[in-house]
């Protein structure tokens, strides 16, 4: 490869020896119910809150009978510890989903697919009022958390999706208080096979959602999904792999429902990010969607653009722990402009493991494994610039910041690793399929 060129011979003007901006589309946070969130509970709901705490304390826990984090770090809830972890990993900015594998749910809601799979086996009898209070408690705490170096955090607001007017109100409050995007449940509609009572009551191609789409567009709030939808039936044979496959498919439903429903034609500045759906499915799905256009016209749909063209401008793929074969597919089939790298910090299936002094962080080894010898301009886009565009971040600020933390240079990012580390995250160095 030439000094200022890519491996495929195309010219590039990027500086290979400048540290690169990394925007992680997928990190997780887990404020503690008692120490962190209880102070945000309104006085009139404290008795209910304490009953909820007692219920959680009575459970055996999330994994292995323990609520301890699998990847131990105070970054689950402490902003200073978290920023130190990000700096060491070389991550300039992050998107914060709830569900940090430390077993802490959002108050009053512990079986919600939008929260994450780890809580879905639990139940707690709560009404819509308490569910809304619990989400606002979390949003208030998250807003304060994100106020520490705010340009580095895309905090995701949890909205009362069962009430569209209330969801608009909560989104407006959240944006005014520094949260930048929406935690967007994959499942919605009256007939979904969905254990959660807390998703929306209308399918996403229903114009009833237009007030929320308009508000999110006007507020500049991106809609961010995350893998983990569906209804795991772990008590049945094959329950776990059945759930993994079915959740992968169900989580992609907002893309085709919103595109076919004309949402992005009516709201052209609205953006959707589908996060943590690994595998080589993106081009196949778009080809299948494009092939249905004739049927759409027969049934009177008025969309004027091909679904794949709409996806290029409005739908991004949050590519947590992206693999080599997925990166090559993105470049070969020209969908790299829609890819945003993700570390899944601090999940054990992701790329983050605390590194020692002088060690190359596992996240950087993983991205080098995926992107080595690929076109540096496209790698730079997938690592950070696409994320800047998708979430409305300050690219100039993040570029300056990247030079001050342990970020890799672009040359580092496209340099092969010597070998895969013996101990690593479950899916940090995948070789085939979504989960291998």
Compute CA distances 185 → 113, 158, 160, 238, whole Å.
Answer: 7, 9, 11, 25
Burial of 182 (0-12, 13-18, 19+ CB in 10 A): buried
Q: Provide block-wise average pLDDT over 10 residues at a time, the chain (436 residues).
A: 40 84 97 96 98 85 47 91 97 95 87 60 81 97 98 98 97 98 92 68 96 98 91 83 88 95 96 96 94 71 87 97 96 97 94 89 97 98 98 98 98 97 91 88
User: What pTM was estimated for this model as a whole?
Assistant: 0.93
What pLDDT was estimated at residue 118? 56
401 assigned to some structural domain: yes
15 assigned to some structural domain: no
Q: At what angle do helices 253-260 and 307-314 cross, to 10 degrees?
A: 110
What pLDDT was estimated at residue 11? 42
What residues form DSSP beta bridges with 19? 409
What pLDDT was estimated at residue 345? 96
421 assigned to some structural domain: no
What CATH number should be reported for the domain holding residue 70?
3.20.20.140
What pLDDT was estimated at residue 10? 41
What pLDDT was estimated at residue 67? 47
Burial of 389 (0-12, 13-18, 19+ CB in 10 A): middle
346 assigned to some structural domain: yes
What pLDDT was estimated at residue 93? 98
What pLDDT was estimated at residue 4? 40
What pLDDT was estimated at residue 199? 85
Q: Tokens 């596992």: give the residue.
A: 362
For residue 37, the enclosing domain spans: 23-413
Number of domains the chain contains: 1
435 assigned to some structural domain: no
Burial of 357 (0-12, 13-18, 19+ CB in 10 A): exposed
pLDDT digits (tens, 9 = 90+) for 5-17: 444 434 457 899 9
- Long-range contacts, stretch 3-7, CB < 8 angstroms, 24+ apart: 6/374, 6/375, 6/376, 6/377, 6/378, 7/373, 7/374, 7/375, 7/414
pLDDT digits (tens, 9 = 90+) for 180-228: 999 999 989 887 655 566 789 999 999 999 999 999 999 999 999 998 8
4 assigned to some structural domain: no
Please check whether residue 77 is in contact with residue 30, taking contact to mean a CB–CB distance below 8 angstroms: yes
250 assigned to some structural domain: yes
341 assigned to some structural domain: yes
């Amino acid at each position: 490869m030439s000094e200022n060129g890519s491996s495929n011979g195309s010219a590039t003007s990027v500086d290979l020896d400048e540290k690169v901006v990394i925007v992680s589309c997928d990190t997780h946070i887990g404020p503690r119910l008692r120490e962190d969130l209880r102070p945000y509970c309104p006085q009139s709901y404290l008795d209910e809150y304490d009953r909820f705490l007692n219920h959680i304390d009575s459970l055996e826990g999330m994994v292995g009978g323990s609520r301890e984090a699998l990847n131990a770090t105070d970054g689950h809830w402490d902003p200073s510890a978290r920023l130190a972890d990000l700096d060491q990993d070389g991550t300039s900015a992050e998107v914060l989903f709830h569900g940090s594998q430390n077993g802490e749910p959002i108050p009053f809601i512990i079986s919600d697919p939008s929260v994450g799979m780890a809580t879905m086996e639990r139940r707690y009898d709560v009404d819509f009022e308490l569910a809304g209070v619990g989400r606002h408690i979390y949003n208030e705490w998250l807003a304060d958390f994100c106020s520490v170096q705010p340009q580095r955090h895309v905090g995701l607001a949890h909205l009362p999706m069962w009430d569209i007017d209330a969801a608009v109100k909560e989104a407006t409050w959240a944006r005014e208080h520094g949260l930048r995007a929406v935690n967007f449940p994959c499942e919605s509609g009256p007939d979904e096979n969905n254990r959660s009572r807390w998703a929306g009551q209308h399918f996403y191609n229903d114009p009833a959602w237009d007030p929320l789409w308009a508000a999110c567009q006007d507020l500049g709030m991106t809609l961010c999904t995350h893998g983990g939808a569906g209804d795991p039936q772990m008590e049945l044979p094959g329950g776990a792999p059945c759930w993994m496959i079915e959740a992968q498919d169900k989580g992609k439903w907002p893309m085709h429902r919103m595109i076919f429903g004309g949402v992005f034609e009516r709201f052209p500045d609205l953006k959707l990010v589908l996060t943590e759906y690994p595998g080589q499915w993106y081009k196949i799905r778009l080809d299948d969607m494009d092939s249905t256009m004739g049927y759409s016209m027969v049934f009177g749909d008025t969309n004027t653009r091909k679904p794949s063209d709409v996806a290029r401008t409005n739908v991004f793929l949050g590519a947590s722990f992206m693999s080599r074969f997925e990166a090559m597919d993105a470049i070969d089939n020209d969908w790299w402009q829609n890819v945003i790298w993700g570390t899944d910090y601090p999940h054990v299936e992701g790329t983050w493991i605390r590194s020692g002094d002088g060690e190359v962080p596992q996240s950087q080894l993983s991205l080098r494994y995926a992107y080595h010898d690929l076109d540096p301009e496209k790698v730079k886009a997938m690592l950070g610039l696409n994320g800047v565009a998708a979430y409305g971040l300050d690219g100039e600020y993040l570029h300056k910041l990247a030079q001050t933390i342990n970020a890799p240079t672009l040359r580092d990012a496209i340099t092969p690793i010597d070998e895969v580390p013996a101990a690593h995250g479950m899916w940090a160095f995948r070789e085939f399929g979504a989960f291998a």
